Chains A and B, each alone.
Chain A
Amino acid sequence: MGMFFLRRLGVMLLTALCLTFIVFSLTNLYPNLEKLAKSQGNNRMTDAEVSSWLNRNGYLQPTVVKYGEWLGVLPGFTFTNDEGEISGRCIENGQPAEEAPRFCGVIQGDWGTSTRFRAEVSDVVSTRLSLTGKLMFFVMLVMVPCALIIGVLAGMKEGSKTDRTLSTASILTTATPEYVSGVLFIAVFASSAVGLKWFKGTAASAMDDANFANFTLPVLTIALYGMGYIARMTRASMTEVMTAQYIRTARLKGVSFKNIVMKHALRNALIAPFTVIMLQFPWLLNGVVIVETLFNYKGFGWALVEAAGNNDIELLLGCSVVAVFVVLITQLISDIGYVFLNPRIRIS
């Protein structure tokens, strides 16, 4: 178990390094840097001015070197201008060059500065992430119990009318991407044209004060897409358990149907959905980006879109590190959880 854990951790680190390097090199391609220079300096720079700006800020070094600096394994870039003033990656405005640390990268805890928000990346990411965390918490609160109940009800009696109805409903929700269900929900529940106006069509006010009116629609939109999938997995696992030998034995002994489901079937049927729920996190991240854009909720997904749209290199890297770790850690938890939950693997 320890060995397995260590190996997984190693693969995780390697994946994170590879991914950040890919993001790094794609955002550091010359056309992107040119755009960055023009947005930071001014829009009418000539080509020579652009390249001198890039040179002054250390963007013209080889990508690997820049990546090493960002990571904090290579000393930060410094530039001495004609008057002998030293500026550099690790030197803050007004700070003498001698006092500045030599290394300033992710390893040292310095995530850089966001050019879009003009703030520390770590601050931006942590505020945005906490907002998204709030959203995700409610999504999970709605999605997981509903999905499990639907799946178990459908899988209890395969082929029954309940099963048919619930299965078709879960197919319907998996076929509805967030940008479609979100639009339909806003149209029905929030627009003045239909006149229901139960909820608000924007969640901008939910960032400080989430209430029923402004938070229901975004939560429901994300939850619905994942719900169908988890419900189908639960149903498949439940139908498999319900045909097992020990269930038949219990029936023949005369155990009531309710007790069979509650005491014998349920616990075994919930092993597979656990893995699926953990693996849903990365997909939810996708939904979060769409829903936050649609409902104007300024969380992590919104920051990701803003960073990508404005080629904000360091914020984009920070966001992708977070996203990648979410994906990899949920995979790890699902693997470990699977081993712990499943007695057949645990005991052997």
Chain B
Amino acid sequence: MESLTWGGIILQILIRFTPVWIALIALFAVSISYKRKLGLYGKLFDSTIGMIGFALVMFWVFTGFFGGALDWIVTHDPISVISGMKNKAPGTALPEGAAGYPHYLLGGDNLARDVFSRMVKGSWEVIKIAPFATLFAFMVGITLGLPAGYFGGRLDTLLSFAANLILAFPVILLFYLLVTPEIVATGIPTYMAAVLFIFPVIFLCVLFNSRFHTQPDKRNVYLGITLVVGLWFYLGIAWDADPLGVISVPSNILVVFVSVVFVNSPTVFRIVRGLALDIKTRDYVAAAQTRGEGSWYIMLWEILPNARGPLIVDFCLRIGYTTILLGTLGFFGLGLSPESPDWGSTINEGRKLLSVYLAPAVVPSVALLSLVLGLNLLADGLREESLKD
């Protein structure tokens, strides 16, 4: 086989991404034609910046899903080695007799693995962890930030002190302290997971109870579903003790997950607390207080929905920040296994030979950059559109 030229490489990569293009076009066609009925999400399609950001983000979401979960886009196995392909330039043809796709589209790394496939697989590592970690951080931040802002007083002082304490830690020191194998052996991350992951369950229970406590039938149904599903997930994720044996998280991923949630939640707490302090002086809160509504009802059903604009924007930004944090962890070789194709680890491996062989480090760098840029642009678009009305 001949090696490919740059034009050929780009063409082949575009062809490999066909499922992603189809999914993107379908998504945009449907969204744009119904955009007037879709609320804030629909309005996003009025802003060019927001659309570009959304397209970048969805590109990586689809790539992660199709490539990582379904194995569609990848050309080779991300950890298998083909001899003779070590540090080869992009577009190099496989040696005679090697099976599978005839080229290494973006070259080989210093262990002769395919850079392109590792990049595609790496996106799945991010898509799998970053949004959920951010969501958990938001649950923790909201559950603690609302009462801190609403009640104030001692509770606020205590929680704010704790939040500032975590924020004063240099993030990398915290990672080194939490993610080393010695600490994992003591079980501390598991206990932290046990504390942090109970918050979503508490959040949902309080959410439903405060709204429906006057209609016990409805409440019992909602609470029952939340408790059964929530505790099932909780046991599986935090304690790795799922009674049905379906949900289980590898311990190194759990540690990464916990430390990212732990680093993110104090900032969310501060934002939510600030918003709650501001919104609790509004008239509709006073009206609810006069009606005799409970404190949690006011917090979760009056204050929280009115704080959604800034929170949604921050959510997008924070997924980007979480992606950066995951990359940082990989860059320092913490947490994820060394074979793992995640972008941070790949950058770290590639940088050692960076002055001679560019592709192994530059490809995941550009991928990470485009995803975070997409999230930032999306947040910017959302902010602009949510301020318009």
* Cβ contact within 8 Å between B177 and A319: no
0/1 interface trace, chain B 151-188, chain A, CB 8 Å (1 if under): 00000000001001101111111001110101101101
Given A15-B168, A180-B365, A293-B332, A186:B376 Cβ within 8 A: no
State whether the Cβ of A114 lies closer than 8 Å to any Cβ in chain B: no
* Cβ contact within 8 Å between A35 and B182: yes
* Cβ contact within 8 Å between A23 and B183: no
* Cβ contact within 8 Å between A177 and B170: no
Q: Please give, as numbers and ranges, the residues of chain B lying within 8 Å of A286 by CB-CB distance.
A: 170-172
Bound complex: CA of A232 vs CA of B171, how far in Å? 23
State whether the Cβ of B64 lies closer than 8 Å to any Cβ in chain A: no
0/1 interface trace, chain A 170-194, chain B, CB 8 Å (1 if under): 0110111101100110110011111
Q: Please give, as numbers and ranges, the residues of chain B lying within 8 Å of A184 by CB-CB distance.
A: 362, 365-366, 369
Nearest CB of chain B from residue A67's CB, rounded to whole Å: 16
Bound complex: CA of A323 vs CA of B49, how far in Å? 38
Chain B facing A: main interface SS: helix
Chain A facing B: main interface SS: helix
State whether the Cβ of A328 lies closer than 8 Å to any Cβ in chain B: yes
Return the contact of A29 from the options B49, B165, B172, B186 (Cβ within 8 A). Answer: B186
Bound complex: CA of A15 vs CA of B178, how far in Å? 19
* Cβ contact within 8 Å between A311 and B182: yes
State whether the Cβ of A68 lies closer than 8 Å to any Cβ in chain B: no
> Interface size of B by Cβ–Cβ distance < 8 Å?
48
* Cβ contact within 8 Å between A29 and B170: no
* Cβ contact within 8 Å between A11 and B161: yes
Given A19-B168, A187-B354, A319-B173, A32:B182 Cβ within 8 A: yes
State whether the Cβ of B347 lies closer than 8 Å to any Cβ in chain A: yes
* Cβ contact within 8 Å between A15 and B182: no
Q: Which of B340-389 contact A (CB under 8 A)?
A: 344, 347-348, 350-351, 354-358, 361-362, 365-366, 368-369, 372-373, 375-377, 380
> Which residue of chain B has its CB nearest to the CB of A171?
B376
Residue from A19, A172, A177, A186 with most neighbouring chain B CB atoms (10 Å)? A177
Bound complex: CA of A311 vs CA of B344, how far in Å? 23
Q: Please give, as numbers and ranges, the residues of chain A lying within 8 Å of B165 by CB-CB distance.
A: 15, 18-19
Q: Please give, as numbers and ranges, the residues of chain B lying within 8 Å of A191 by CB-CB distance.
A: 354-356, 358
State whether the Cβ of B258 lies closer than 8 Å to any Cβ in chain A: no
Q: Which of A276-310 contact B (CB under 8 A)?
A: 282, 285-286, 289-290, 293-294, 301, 304-305, 308-309
Q: Please give, as numbers and ranges, the residues of chain B lying within 8 Å of A301 by CB-CB distance.
A: 172
* Cβ contact within 8 Å between A15 and B164: yes
Nearest CB of chain A from residue B51's CB, rounded to whole Å: 14
Return the contact of B186 from the options A11, A30, A311 (Cβ within 8 A). Answer: A30
Nearest CB of chain A from residue B362's CB, rounded to whole Å: 5
Bound complex: CA of A153 vs CA of B347, how far in Å? 35
Bound complex: CA of A190 vs CA of B356, how far in Å? 10
State whether the Cβ of B255 lies closer than 8 Å to any Cβ in chain A: no
> Which residue of chain B has its CB nearest to the CB of A34?
B182
State whether the Cβ of A343 lies closer than 8 Å to any Cβ in chain B: no
Bound complex: CA of A323 vs CA of B171, how far in Å? 11
> Which residue of chain B has its CB nearest to the CB of A327?
B168
Bound complex: CA of A179 vs CA of B188, how far in Å? 29
Q: Please give, as numbers and ranges, the residues of chain A lying within 8 Å of B373 by CB-CB distance.
A: 171-172, 175-176
State whether the Cβ of A62 lies closer than 8 Å to any Cβ in chain B: no
Bound complex: CA of A316 vs CA of B169, how far in Å? 12
> Which residue of chain B has its CB nearest to the CB of A174?
B376
Q: Please give, as numbers and ranges, the residues of chain A lying within 8 Å of B368 by CB-CB distance.
A: 177, 180
Return the contact of B344 from the options A35, A179, A304, A323 (Cβ within 8 A). Answer: A179
Q: Please give, as numbers and ranges, the residues of chain B lying within 8 Å of A285 by CB-CB distance.
A: 170
Q: Please give, as numbers and ranges, the residues of chain B lying within 8 Å of A35 by CB-CB distance.
A: 182
* Cβ contact within 8 Å between A175 and B172: no
0/1 interface trace, chain A 183-215, chain B, CB 8 Å (1 if under): 110110011111000000100000000000000
State whether the Cβ of A324 lies closer than 8 Å to any Cβ in chain B: yes
State whether the Cβ of B139 lies closer than 8 Å to any Cβ in chain A: no
* Cβ contact within 8 Å between A183 and B351: yes
Q: Please give, as numbers and ranges, the residues of chain A lying within 8 Å of B178 by CB-CB distance.
A: 26
State whether the Cβ of B327 lies closer than 8 Å to any Cβ in chain A: yes
19 additional A-B pairs beyond A293-B332, A294-B351, beta carbons within 8 Å, are A19-B165, A23-B177, A29-B186, A31-B183, A32-B180, A32-B183, A171-B380, A175-B372, A179-B347, A187-B358, A192-B356, A193-B356, A290-B328, A301-B172, A304-B172, A305-B172, A305-B176, A320-B173, A323-B170
**The 10 residue pairs across chains A and B that have the minimum distance between CB atoms:** A308-B176, A31-B182, A175-B373, A175-B372, A177-B324, A180-B365, A327-B168, A191-B355, A323-B170, A175-B376
Chain A residues within CB distance 8 Å of chain B: 11, 14-15, 18-19, 23, 26-27, 29-32, 34-35, 167-168, 171-172, 174-177, 179-180, 183-184, 186-187, 190-194, 201, 282, 285-286, 289-290, 293-294, 301, 304-305, 308-309, 311, 316, 319-320, 323-324, 327-328
30 contacts between A and B (CB under 8 A): A14-B161, A15-B165, A15-B168, A26-B177, A26-B183, A26-B188, A31-B183, A31-B185, A31-B186, A32-B182, A34-B182, A168-B49, A171-B376, A171-B380, A176-B372, A179-B348, A180-B347, A183-B351, A183-B361, A183-B362, A191-B354, A192-B355, A193-B355, A282-B167, A282-B170, A286-B171, A290-B331, A305-B176, A309-B176, A324-B169
